């Protein structure tokens, strides 16, 4: 890539371009296990696993899966919270040339059925707490193998579960017993091309059904090496034995998958693996740790941290190598509050379609309040007129953000129409409206799409509309994202009741609890006699959002 004017703002030593190795994404675990075999890779409620142990378990799981019939190209659903089992299975699947399908444990049965069916999941690796959901799914979706774990099985001192105790159906496999059944740690020598799919990461879709962004081995390797170089000004100050990551971001989310998990493996950082975000538990971990940690987080987590009653007593200025905000815009007030407490703050931008990365603030260099930073190594951007989709706008002018480079996805799984609509000549049309200043810094100012980002989760409102519209008392419904100090945005529903029907906010919210994952449910409902529409009858979501904003700003 030719020199770009924003390169002048890179930290010293960060390369403008990187020549990535042509290897499978699972090889990053192998490389780190060779270099730091006895370094702790994961710490899970006091149970430590070294990189060598993690590599060996990953190889054993890969061989067990191969013996069970898993082959290159198969789609393997990982339906787990953060735990060592996820990491073991993830690298095992990649080493076979099979494809990881990231599945959110909070999906409802209908959502999980649709995504397993869409991707043709042949093996589903899940956990005991969602067994009723799995039983619902397999009634309608043919899954060859079900592998179930109990999360606490990988905590030393906890009783080991059995298939009978968990209540596994006949033919289902118990994760720990399945792993123990294979002692073969011979590496798989499946031929993997860099353009082979490695990961299907779901994101919003115009139909309301999430689209599966296909990320290749090249995408994941590019992300790992780019992050390693971009963050080197901070990491290089620490020897490998002093590197730690607070891995709370869910691994099923692209941000947690790439920036927390893969980045930690790449840099030999010990992951403090946490299955769920509980601020009191997190404060306890922070207080216990003697070494500073890298914490990739979303604004809701950062807000809970800096506003916690114990925050001032914890000396946060010595707790973090740096704290990166992503997944949703962070408010200037929250960013400044973190800095005022002495925290090394950073912000970045990425999407599922860009392997979670693309734009970032220099770790040591200039940061601009409200900006997500500058394009990172090997990435190019341009801003085009949203009206014609072609003309580049001048610096300081609003335009749709287009990105290009080795982090951009291969396409959407089994969805050529959506792929063609968003990928043109290698340029990804992001749907974000941004401004680039004279130094190359990017400011995200709007979205051309109607995506709601709540707590780091991407939510497509049409999906919620379609669910709420099935309520027998609802005539019309439109959902929008409204600002929320804690979650970034939250979902609000505007509802018109059917003639002669009376409906309450409580009824709508209760109905949504049966049909939608928690983060998609409306938190407030406003009833209208009618909803604004265009001349052709299209419901005007933006008008409702603007009206709500005007009401709140009075």
Tell me the per-residue pLDDT of 20-63, one tens digit each, with 9 for 90 and over: 999 999 999 999 999 999 999 999 999 999 999 999 999 999 99
pLDDT for 387 equals 77
Residue 474 has pLDDT above 50, yes or no: yes
pLDDT class of 476 with cuts at 50, 70, 90: confident
**Please, which pLDDT band fits residue 533 given cuts at 50, 70 and 90?**
confident
Question: What is the model's pLDDT at position 206?
Answer: 39
* Length of the chain (residues): 554
The number of beta carbons lying within 10 Å of the beta carbon of residue 331 is 16
pLDDT on residue 207: 45
**3-state DSSP percent of the chain in helix, strand and coil, to 5:** 35, 25, 40
DSSP strands (E only) in 374-487: 374-375, 380-384, 399-404, 411-412, 423-424, 427-436, 442-447, 452-454, 457-459, 474-484
Contacts of 44 (CB under 8 A, 6+ apart): 83, 84, 154, 155, 273
Q: Give the pLDDT band (50/70/90) at residue 257.
A: very high
pLDDT of residue 435: 94
Mean pLDDT of 492-509: 94
Contact between residue 215 and residue 199 where contact means Cβ atoms under 8 Å apart: yes
pLDDT in tens, 175-185: 999 999 999 99
3-state secondary structure 37-56: CCCEEEEECCEEEEHHHHHH
Q: H or E stretch including 346?
A: strand 345-349
Give the 3-state secondary structure of residue 307: coil
Instruction: Output the CA torsion sign for 436, 438, 440, 441.
Output: negative
pLDDT of residue 186: 96
pLDDT confidence of residue 205: 43
Cβ atoms 517, 549 nearer than 8 A: no
Q: pLDDT value at position 535?
A: 46
Residue 553's region, left for phi above 0, alpha for psi from -120 to 50, else beta, is: alpha
**DSSP one-letter string for 311-340:** GGGGTGGGTEEEEEE-SSPPPHHHHHHHHH
SS3 1: coil
Q: By three-state DSSP, how is residue 366 classified?
A: coil
pLDDT reading at 395 higher than 50: yes
Distance CA 121, CA 103 (A): 11
Higher-confidence position of 331 and 141: 141
Domains and CATH numbers, the chain: 452-552 (3.30.300.30)
Cα-Cα end-to-end distance for the chain: 49
Picking from 251, 253, 298, the residue whose alpha carbon sits closest to that of residue 271 is 251
Q: Which residue has the higher pLDDT, 256 or 209?
A: 256
Task: Determine the distance from the C-alpha atom of residue 221 to the mean position of all C-alpha atoms in its chain, rounded to a whole number.
Answer: 17
The region of weakest confidence among 132-136, 334-338, 448-452 is 448-452
Candidate from 162-176, 410-424, 457-471, 497-511 with smallest mean pLDDT: 457-471
Region 360-371: mean pLDDT is: 93
**What was the pLDDT predicted at 164?**
96
Contacts of 522 (CB under 8 A, 6+ apart): 464, 468, 479, 491, 492, 493, 508, 509, 512
Task: Kindly report the average pLDDT of the chain as a whole number.
Answer: 93
- pLDDT confidence of residue 456: 85
Give the per-residue pLDDT at 538.
60
Residue 315 predicted with pLDDT over 80: yes
DSSP single-letter state for residue 11: P
Measured between alpha carbons, how far is 317 from 308 in angstroms, rounded to an integer?
15
Residue 187's pLDDT is: 94
| Confidence label for 198 from pLDDT (cuts 50, 70 and 90) | very high
What DSSP character marks residue 7? G
Residue 297 is inside which H or E element, if any?
A: strand 293-297
Q: How many CB atoms lie within 10 A of CB 14?
A: 21
- φ, ψ of residue 123 in degrees (nearest 5): -135, 135
Q: Which of 6-15, 95-104, 137-146, 379-388 has the lowest mean pLDDT?
A: 379-388
Indicate whether 158 pLDDT > 90.
Answer: yes
Q: What is the DSSP letter of 500?
A: T
pLDDT-derived band of residue 536, with 50, 70 and 90 as boundaries?
A: very low
Amino acid 1: pLDDT: 52
Q: pLDDT value at position 83?
A: 98
Q: How far apart are CA 316 and CA 71, in angstroms?
A: 47
By the 8 A CB rule, do 480 and 419 touch? Answer: no
Report the C-alpha gap between 253 and 495 in whole angstroms: 31
Give percent of the chain above pLDDT 70: 97
The answer to whether residue 319 scores a pLDDT higher than 60 is yes
What DSSP letter does each residue of 146-208 carry, written as one string? EEEE-GGGGSTTSPPP-HHHHTPPTT-EEHHHHHHT----PPP-----TTSEEEEEEE--TTS
């Amino acid at each position: 890539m030719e020199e770009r004017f924003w390169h002048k703002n890179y930290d010293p030593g960060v390369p403008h371009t990187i020549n990535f190795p042509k290897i499978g994404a699972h090889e990053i675990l192998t490389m780190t296990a060779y270099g730091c075999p006895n370094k702790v890779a994961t710490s899970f409620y006091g149970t430590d696993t070294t990189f060598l142990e993690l590599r060996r378990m990953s190889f054993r799981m890969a061989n067990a899966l191969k013996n069970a019939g898993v082959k290159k190209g198969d789609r393997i659903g990982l339906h787990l919270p953060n735990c060592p089992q996820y990491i073991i299975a993830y690298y095992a699947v990649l080493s076979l040339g099979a494809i990881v399908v990231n599945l959110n444990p909070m999906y409802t049965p209908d959502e999980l059925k649709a995504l397993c069916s869409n991707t043709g999941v042949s093996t589903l690796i899940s956990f005991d707490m969602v067994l009723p959901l799995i039983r619902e799914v397999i009634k309608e979706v043919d899954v060859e193998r079900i592998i179930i774990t109990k999360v606490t099985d990988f905590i030393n001192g906890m009783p080991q579960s059995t298939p009978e105790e968990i209540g596994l159906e006949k033919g289902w496999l118990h994760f720990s017993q399945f792993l123990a059944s294979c002692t073969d740690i011979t590496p798989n020598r499946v031929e993997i091309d860099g353009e082979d799919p490695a990961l299907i990461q779901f994101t919003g879709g115009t139909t309301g059904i999430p689209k599966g962004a296909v990320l290749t081995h090249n995408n994941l390797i590019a992300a790992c090496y780019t992050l390693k170089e971009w963050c080197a000004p901070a990491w290089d100050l620490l020897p490998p034995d002093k590197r730690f990551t607070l891995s709370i971001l869910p691994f099923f989310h692209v941000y947690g998958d790439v920036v927390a998990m893969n980045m930690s493996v790449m840099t030999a950082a010990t992951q403090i693996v946490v299955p769920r975000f509980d601020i009191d538990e997190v404060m306890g971990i922070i207080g216990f740790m003697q070494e500073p940690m890298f914490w990739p987080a979303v604004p809701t987590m950062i807000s809970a941290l800096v506003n916690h009653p114990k925050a001032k007593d914890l000396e946060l200025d010595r707790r973090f190598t740096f704290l990166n905000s992503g997944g949703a815009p962070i408010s200037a007030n929250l960013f400044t509050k973190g800095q005022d407490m002495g925290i090394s703050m950073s912000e970045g931008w990425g999407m599922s379609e860009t392997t979670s990365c693309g734009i970032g603030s220099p770790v040591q260099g200039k940061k601009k309040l409200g900006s997500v930073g500058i394009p990172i190594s090997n990435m190019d951007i341009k801003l085009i007129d949203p009206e014609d989709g072609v003309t580049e706008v001048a610096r300081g002018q609003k335009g749709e953000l287009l990105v290009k480079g080795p982090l951009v996805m291969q396409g959407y799984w089994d969805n050529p129409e959506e792929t063609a609509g968003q990928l043109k000549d290698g340029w990804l049309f992001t749907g974000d409206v941004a401004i680039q200043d004279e130094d190359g810094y990017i400011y995200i100012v709007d979205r051309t799409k109607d995506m709601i980002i709540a707590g780091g989760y991407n939510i497509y409102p049409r999906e919620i509309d379609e669910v709420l519209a099935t309520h027998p008392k609802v005539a019309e419904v439109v959902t929008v994202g409204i600002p929320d100090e804690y979650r970034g945005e939250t979902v609000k529903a505007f509802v018109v009741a059917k003639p002669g029907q009376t409906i309450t906010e409580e009824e709508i919210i209760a109905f949504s609890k049966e049909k939608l994952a928690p983060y998609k449910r409306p938190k407030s409902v406003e009833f209208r006699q009618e909803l604004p529409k265009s001349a052709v009858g299209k419901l005007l979501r933006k008008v409702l959002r603007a009206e709500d904003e005007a009401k709140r700003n009075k």
